[in-house]
Amino acid sequence: MKKPIAVGLILLAFALAACSSFPQPTPIPTLTFTAISTSTLTPTSTPLPPTATPEGQPASEWNGIPIMPGAISGEGDDESYVFTIKATPQQIEEYYELELGKLGWQPFAQGEEDPSALIFMNDASETLMVNMIAKGDEALVLLVK
């Protein structure tokens, strides 16, 4: 007589468990990464798209950053300033290292593969990026703060 009651209670427990509103666990997706071999990659010499030459009279400074004397044209906004100048990337780099050093900016990094990108940092932990693109005897300089 005890077995039918025990079996009935077990069946009742299963029925209640099946009808209960307990939340079911949601499976968590896992990310997988596939490594690629760099030995199969071949560099290409894709030409850079044509750069737009800034228009307008160059400013003498932008957001407290001096614009290199001799700039031909320039324009900018709150985030960046671009100008053209008849100078080599090395002359531009030397100018900004000297002038920014006077203002408390220190060289922070230079692109290893692309030495035409310089990053400076000041005491307030602000960063300034100076990018140069040589184009004939002129250079396009982009300042981003």
CB 128 within 8 A of CB 101: no
CB 74 within 8 A of CB 67: yes
What does the mean pLDDT of the chain come to? 76
Angle 131-135-136 (CA atoms, 0-180°, nearest 5)?
A: 145
* Residue 107 falls inside a structural domain: yes
| pLDDT for res 117 | 87
Kindly state the percentage of the chain with pLDDT values over 70: 59
Q: Model-level pTM?
A: 0.61
| Tens digit of each residue's pLDDT (9 = 90 or more) over 13-27 | 444 445 555 555 666
| pLDDT for res 8 | 44
Task: Tell me how far apart the alpha carbons of residues 54 and 75 are, in angstroms, rounded to a whole number.
Answer: 6
Domain total of the chain = 1
Question: The dihedral of CA 52, 55, 58, 63: what is its sign?
Answer: negative
| pLDDT for res 25 | 60
CATH of the domain at 85: 3.30.310
* Residue 46 falls inside a structural domain: no
29 vs 16: which has the higher pLDDT: 29
